[in-house]
Amino acid sequence: MKKRLYGSLALTLAAAMALSACGNNGNNGADASAGASSKSPSSSKATKLVFWTFNELHQKFFESMADSWNKANPGEQIKLEATTFPYDDAHNKLLVSLQSGKGGPDLADIEISKIGNYLKGDPQLVPLNDIVEPEESNLVMSRLNNYAKDGKYYGIDYHVGAQVIYYNKEILDQAGVNPDNIVTWDDYEQAGKQVLEKTGKPMTTVETGDQWTFWPMVVQHGSDFLDKEGNVTLNSAANVEALTYLQKLVKEKVAVLAPGGIHHAEEYYGFMNKGGAASVWMPMWYMGRFTDYMPDLKGKIIIKPMPVFKQGEMRSSGMGGTGTVITKQSKNQDLAKKFLAYAKISKEGNIQIWKQLGFDPIRSDVWTDPAMQEPNKYTDYFGKDIFTFLSGLKSEIAPTNIGERTPAVSDAVKTKAMFQALSDLKDPKQVLDDAAASIK
Amino acid sequence: MPERKPTLQTFLLIGLFVVLALLALFPFYCLALASLKPSKELLRYGLNIKLQPELLSLHNYSFIFSEGSAKYMGWYKNSAIVTIVYTVFCLLLSSMVGYGLAMYRFVGRNVLFVFVLLVMMIPVEMIMLPLYKQMIAFNLIDSYGGVILPFVVSPLPIFFFRQFAAGLPRDFLDAGRIDGCSEYGIFFKIFVPLMAPAFGAMAIVQSLASWNSFVWPLIVLNSGTKLTLPIGLASLVTPYGNNYDILIAGSVLAIVPIMAVFVFFQRYFVSGLTVGGVKG
Amino acid sequence: MRSNWLYSQRIAPYVFVLPFVLSLAVFFLYPMVSTLLMSFQEVLPGQTHFVGWSNYKSMADDASFYAALWNSTRYTFWTLLVLIPVPLVLAVLLNSARMKWSSLFRSALFVPTLTSVVVAGIVFRLVFGSLDDSVMNQFRHLLGFQTINWMGHSATGMVVLVVLATWRFAGINIVYFLSALQTIPGELYESAEIDGANTWHKFKSITLPLLKPVAIYVITISIYGGYSMFTESFMLWNGNRSPNDIGLTMIGLLYRNGVEQNNLGLGSAIGVALLGTTMILNLIALQFFGLFKKEE
């Protein structure tokens, strides 16, 4: 009897192993979930495209683009099946399905700090050069380069994410500071001392738990966390200089640590809303936080270019971003590519990105389009000239180096470097050296 | 039991528990209060414990039940289905195993128990990828079968039932055999009722675990229409902006069904009933 | 009575435990073996290859590993200290004949366990906020102390975590102990009273010993639960980004390497190390409590 029991156990085990030995990665096996009906594009039946994202607004955007696509292309109907998953886990889920070769979507959003993970090994994503290269002259190419490896473009971003600084005009007026006079970081420090003296408020807040304070500074100073080859340059001399400056501001109380540690904490919004600081530097996409979470500041915030360390340095950079990719598991790669180009590379798509999402789109020829001045909640809050202002910065948007180590270096900045330098007030060079050493 | 007159001890006891209850409920009170105010207030003033009656409204809730309902109610319903199916089968199967481990001496008993502990301690994050591959092989991706099956025979309740059964008198086994019951009959007719408090406790614990289960369903489920409540609520929290209105009101509502389960099953693990049945 | 071998006393135990054996064989053996294998590999699509012990070496070289181990150990220690005796005593009190409105209090204490951890994290983050007007800092002012940055320092961060854990899990431990208390026949207490035993005596000689099996269960799952705590910390610090890793736990480390940095080989190694640690600790504890002794 026992033999029978063990025998059937062994059989079950063997069966389980055999069934699950599907070790092939990265080709379109019999896909259980997407179940896309691979009809040829010329048939009038709709082709299903599965799209995974982590932001409901992106989902709505793509759904509206699918609708307008269908109206414009009756012969190539798309049935978009979009799902919003929680942020971290959307990436987790995508990774798992790409690693196992099955169960993945046609299109997916990948945030810029995570794309490094997907480029390791053989990227399981479809190269998009054929839809990108024809429009190169109209696109801010640095945004495409963030999602590229070995000359192949893999993701199309939603926005440029131009780095700017948001001034609270009310506080500056009280202190008698004119923001247009702030050109260099030395000017900024002086203005900050004046604001502190006259109003008792800090000039700015700095993040200890995220990278948005430090990253744009170093990128615009001609440096970055990684170099073009993807090597870690976190502790370069330029970076140490920037961090030392930040630490000085904190010690002088011109800058305070952001309550809640990051500029996206519930505590922080409350603090700023009550006029907690005179300015904060964040990318353009932070506008939505002002309109949604800091309503009392409506009409009081002006957007200006960042100060620089030296005259001639770029006054902006492309920060953050989310790229939409097409996975190799898609059975409708051509249709997906055409749709993606329509949604995010075409003029119409880019105008919609501004109108629906409030992002600065990656097509620079769109910025001068009158459609960008039409009233919406952002123009109500910040004024009509947002894109006139941005056009002026067009040639000063410094590119960033994104590579396979970006997730790791990003992590070191967020969990160690910022806090040690700005809260513990340790020696900036030591802090950055330690952080750089901890990255493999 | 004779009614005892309230004594000083009673007052002290009640006093203690009132304080504890208030502490336990305080965060929930903050939450419920915030759900009755527009989310902008939460961000303006942080967690406000002041009542502010002029701001109170059921707006967030009515939103959930009207416009948000397709999404939110869908999550609710899916979680309910998964939880009910899971809990029923889990309790049945796990009690069997726990009972078997406690009541019998057989070869492999200790080894098996060590395996129970081992499986219990494996974090799902660790076996996520290989288990996912298996689900693909069994064609269980994006199905509730895939969500439930790997975990339906659950080590935690097995362990608990084992411990509980180990504390029960063995005399019942002998009595049952003498009476001509089969081994299975003894289990179902004698021990299951005896283990009612354990079933009560595990019903609550396991349905709670399933109701709040997050990581594995997220990996297995792909279709938006199948997502469960914790996944849905978490998708409202992004690093760059949260939909606080639905999140907070939704979280308050999420407590309701499980609370009902708790209140219902409470009677099984508390009683004035004596468990006895064997005299002498 | 059937004389079928399936119904025999010898075979019945195997039938009873069959569901687990099947589940183990079908769903867990492959993943467990696979994870063990992965811990010796570098796992990348199309380029997975063996790297021997190097994952374990980099794990041992990483300062974060020791931070996570230390944090998880401290957390487990404190939660064991608080979350076993206190719920035990509370359960006994709630069960006592002199208690009124028991079910009301039980339900109140259980509500925290029902709250989604996502939202509990937000609430606690705000209650323990670093600004002057956060609830806990206001409380400190009442006692004459200064505002502190609760979430910024190791010691206070751990306080917040343990308070969060206590708030969340006291209720469920009470449920476990309450259910076990039901198996103690009232007659035992009555006869003890007749013999002149007072409350403390009754507790020590009757309640505690008879609660032992369930207490062992609670201790074991607490050890395991303590070491595998992750979501609470993740929610509290808005991600895996506690300053200087003060909130990093073992699973947090696994998640950071395995998922956030797509290094599944290293993640698997961490998982194996964690499993080994908790398994050893639990086996020691269980041996200490005599779980493997031949029962009388």
A323: three-class secondary structure by DSSP: strand
User: Which residues on chain A are in Cβ contact (under 8 Å) with B137?
Assistant: 19-20, 22
CATH 3.90.1720.10 fits B69-278, yes or no: no
The closest alpha carbon to C274, from C296, C247, C260, C254, belongs to C254
Q: C54-91: buried (b, 16+ CB within 10 Å) or exposed (e) per residue?
A: ebbebbeebebbebbbebbbbbbebbbebbbeebbebb
Rounded Cα distance, A299 and A296, in Å: 9
Strands (E), A204-249: 204-206
Contact criterion met (CB < 8 Å) for A295 and B218? no
The closest alpha carbon to B27, from B255, B229, B230, belongs to B255
Contact criterion met (CB < 8 Å) for A259 and C151? no
Nearest to C45 among A98, A261, A411 (CB): A98
Domain hosting C68: range is: 63-288
User: Which residues on chain B are in Cβ contact (under 8 Å) with C219?
Assistant: none
List the 370-409 stretch of A: residues with Cβ below 8 A of B. Answer: none
Residue A327: C-alpha distances to residues A26, A114, B53, C33 (Å) = 9, 15, 52, 29
- Helices C208-227, B109-121: crossing angle, 10 deg rounding: 50
DSSP string, B109-165: HHHHHHHHHHHHH--HHHHHHHHHHHHHHTT-TTSHHHHHHHHHS-HHHHHHHHHHH
Q: In this structure, what token pair is assigned to residue A222?
A: 């001609």
Q: In this structure, what token pair is assigned to residue A174?
A: 């009280």
> pLDDT tens for residues C92-133?
888 876 677 888 888 888 888 888 777 788 788 878 877 777
Q: In this structure, what token pair is assigned to residue A158?
A: 């939603």
- Bridge-based pairing of strands A107-111 and A47-53 is parallel
Look-up of token digits 């008879």: C210
Rounded Cα distance, B147 and B223, in Å: 13
> pLDDT tens for residues C38-78?
899 888 877 788 888 989 998 888 888 999 999 999 999 99
Range of weakest confidence among A139-153, C73-87, C178-192: C178-192
- Chain centroid to Cα C217, Å, comes to 11
- Helices A2-20, C29-38: crossing angle, 10 deg rounding: 50
Does any domain span residue C31? no
Under 8 Å CB pairs connecting chains A and B tally to 106
Q: Are B181 and B173 in contact (CB under 8 A)?
A: no
For residue A83, what are the β-bridge partners?
A52
Average pLDDT over residues C140-168: 86
Number of other residues whose CB lies within 10 A of the CB of residue C293: 8
Per-residue pLDDT of chain A (440 residues; tens, 9 = 90+): 333 333 333 333 333 333 222 222 223 333 333 333 333 444 457 899 999 998 888 999 999 999 999 999 988 899 999 998 888 788 888 988 888 888 899 999 999 888 988 988 889 999 999 999 999 888 888 889 889 988 899 999 999 989 999 999 999 999 999 999 999 999 999 999 999 999 999 999 999 989 999 999 999 998 999 988 889 999 999 999 999 999 999 999 999 999 888 898 878 888 999 999 999 999 998 998 898 889 899 999 999 999 999 988 999 998 988 999 999 999 999 999 999 999 999 999 999 998 888 888 998 888 888 888 888 888 889 988 888 888 888 888 888 998 888 888 988 898 889 999 998 899 999 999 999 988 86
Residue B42: C-alpha distances to residues A293, B58, B157, C21 (Å) = 9, 15, 40, 50
User: Which residues on chain B are in Cβ contact (under 8 Å) with C93?
Assistant: 13, 16-17
> pLDDT tens for residues B85-115?
999 999 999 999 999 999 888 888 989 998 9
- Kindly report the three-state secondary structure assignment for every residue of C158-183: HHHHHHHHHHHHHHHHHHHHHHHHCC
Q: Provide φ and ψ at A146, rounded to 5°.
A: -60, -25
**Testing the interface with A: which of B75, B240, B251 to mutate, by most A Cβ within 10 A?**
B240
> pLDDT tens for residues B203-256?
988 998 899 888 889 888 988 889 998 888 888 776 666 677 777 888 888 888
Residue A44: C-alpha distances to residues A72, A76, A106 (Å) = 13, 7, 20
**Testing the interface with C: which of A5, A24, A125, A415 to mutate, by most C Cβ within 10 A?**
A415
Q: Are C177 and C91 in contact (CB under 8 A)?
A: yes
Nearest C-alpha in C relative to A92 = C259
Does any domain span residue C100? yes
Domain ranges of chain B: 8-57, 69-278
Rounded Cα distance, A275 and A297, in Å: 8
**Testing the interface with B: which of A9, A266, A284 to mutate, by most B Cβ within 10 A?**
A266
List the 249-308 stretch of A: residues with Cβ below 8 A of B. Answer: 264, 266-267, 269-270, 273-274, 285, 288-289, 292-296
pLDDT score at B277:
30
User: Which residues on chain C are in Cβ contact (under 8 Å) with A424?
Assistant: 244
Nearest C-alpha in B relative to A24 = B133
Look-up of token digits 């009541």: B103
Look-up of token digits 């319903």: B77
Q: How distant is the Cα of B66 from the closest Cα of chain C, in angstroms?
A: 23
Q: In this structure, what token pair is assigned to residue A219?
A: 């990128």
Q: In this structure, what token pair is assigned to residue A74?
A: 């009756």
Q: A258-267: buried (b, 16+ CB within 10 Å) or exposed (e) per residue?
A: bbbbbbbbbb
pLDDT score at B3:
52
Does any domain span residue C21? no
For residue A165, what are the β-bridge partners?
A281, A304
Rounded Cα distance, C241 and A412, in Å: 9
Look-up of token digits 């960042």: A306
Length of chain A: 440
pLDDT score at A155:
93
Nearest to B255 among C114, C117, C214 (CB): C114
Tell me the whole-structure pTM to 2 decimals.
0.79
Q: How distant is the Cα of C72 from the closest Cα of chain B, in angstroms?
A: 14
Look-up of token digits 């002012």: C141
Contact criterion met (CB < 8 Å) for C12 and B121? no
- Helices C264-288, B124-137: crossing angle, 10 deg rounding: 110
Q: How distant is the Cα of B273 from the closest Cα of chain C, in angstroms?
A: 8
Nearest C-alpha in B relative to C101 = B14
- Kindly report the three-state secondary structure assignment for every residue of C200-249: HHHHHHHHHHHHHHHHHHHHHHHHHHHHCCCHHHHHHCCCCCCHHHCCCC
Is the torsion defined by CA of A54, A57, A60, A66 positive or negative?
Answer: negative
- Helices B8-35, C154-181: crossing angle, 10 deg rounding: 120
End-to-end CA distance of chain A, in Å?
55
Contact criterion met (CB < 8 Å) for C239 and B239? yes
Q: How distant is the Cα of C155 from the closest Cα of chain B, in angstroms?
A: 22
Nearest C-alpha in C relative to A120 = C44
- CATH code of the domain containing C210: 1.10.3720.10
User: Which residues on chain C are in Cβ contact (under 8 Å) with B115?
Assistant: 20, 24
The DSSP symbol for A297 reads G
Residue B77: C-alpha distances to residues A141, B67, B84, B222, C32 (Å) = 46, 16, 11, 17, 33
Q: A287-307: buried (b, 16+ CB within 10 Å) or exposed (e) per residue?
A: bbbbbbbbeebeebbbbbbbb
Look-up of token digits 């099996």: C213
Q: How distant is the Cα of C26 from the closest Cα of chain A, in angstroms?
A: 6
Rounded Cα distance, C14 and B112, in Å: 11
Contact criterion met (CB < 8 Å) for C25 and A124? no
Q: In this structure, what token pair is assigned to residue C238?
A: 């808005």
Share of chain C above pLDDT 90, in %: 15
Contact criterion met (CB < 8 Å) for A22 and B243? no
For residue C58, what are the β-bridge partners?
none
Does any domain span residue C185? yes
Q: How distant is the Cα of A21 from the closest Cα of chain C, in angstroms?
A: 10
Rounded Cα distance, A288 and B241, in Å: 9
Q: How distant is the Cα of C20 from the closest Cα of chain B, in angstroms?
A: 6
**Testing the interface with A: which of B225, B235, B242, B244 to mutate, by most A Cβ within 10 A?**
B235
B7: three-class secondary structure by DSSP: coil
Q: In this structure, what token pair is assigned to residue A138?
A: 């109209």
pLDDT score at A326:
95
Domain total of chain C: 1
pLDDT exceeds cutoff 70 at B58: yes
User: Which residues on chain B are in Cβ contact (under 8 Å) with C254?
Assistant: 123, 125-126
Give ∠ CA C98-C104-C109 in degrees, rounded to 5.
Answer: 105
Number of other residues whose CB lies within 10 A of the CB of residue C288: 10
Q: How distant is the Cα of B160 from the closest Cα of chain A, in angstroms?
A: 26
Contact criterion met (CB < 8 Å) for A26 and C44? no
Residue A249: C-alpha distances to residues A311, A423, A433, B154 (Å) = 20, 12, 21, 55
Number of other residues whose CB lies within 10 A of the CB of residue A67: 12
Q: How confident is the model at residue C3 (pLDDT cuts 50, 70, 90)?
A: low
Helix, strand, coil percent values for chain A (each to nearest 5): 50, 15, 35
Rounded Cα distance, A291 and A131, in Å: 34
Contact criterion met (CB < 8 Å) for A16 and C129? no
Give Cβ neighbours of residue B196 (< 8 Å, ≥ 6 apart): B268, B269
> pLDDT tens for residues C227-274?
988 888 888 887 777 888 888 899 888 888 887 888 888 888 998 998
For residue A283, what are the β-bridge partners?
A163
Rounded Cα distance, B124 and B214, in Å: 11
Average pLDDT over residues B168-176: 85
pLDDT score at B45:
62
Rounded Cα distance, A184 and A171, in Å: 20
Contact criterion met (CB < 8 Å) for B142 and A269? no
Q: Are B135 and A100 in contact (CB under 8 A)?
A: no
pLDDT score at A254:
94
pLDDT score at B5:
60
End-to-end CA distance of chain B, in Å?
21
Does any domain span residue C17? no
Nearest C-alpha in A relative to B237 = A86
ipTM above 0.90, yes or no: no
Rounded Cα distance, A49 and A44, in Å: 15
Nearest to A99 among C26, C45, C130 (CB): C45
Give ∠ CA A430-A433-A435 in degrees, rounded to 5.
Answer: 105
